Amino acid sequence: MKRRWLWEFQENISLKLRVFETTYVAIVRYLARFSQDLAIKDEEGSLLKTTGFPILLILVVLSFFSSF
């Protein structure tokens, strides 16, 4: 009984970590592409416009981990 519970718990954690990893990679790739587009379109102040996105990324990650 205890082994089965431990195995299910381990599978659940590994699944959540895989989902987190793929989501994180997708968000980082999107932000990198978006910031490059902004840098090309607007050379002045593009860093100031993109500083809100890392903060948004951190909030998304924290909200994901709070669901555990």
pLDDT at 18: 83
51, two tokens:
């500083």
Residue range of the domain that includes 55: 2-65
What letter represents residue 28's amino acid? V
Q: 8 with 52: CB under 8 angstroms? A: no
| More confident call, 55 vs 20 | 20
Rounded mean pLDDT of the chain? Answer: 72
pLDDT at 22: 84
Query: What is the torsion angle, in degrees rounded to the nearest 10, for the CA atoms of residue 20, residue 28, residue 47 and residue 43?
Result: -160
DSSP, res 45: S
Total tally of structural domains belonging to the chain: 1
Distance (Å) of CA 34 to CA 20, 25, 28, 40: 21, 14, 10, 10
The whole-model pTM stands at: 0.46
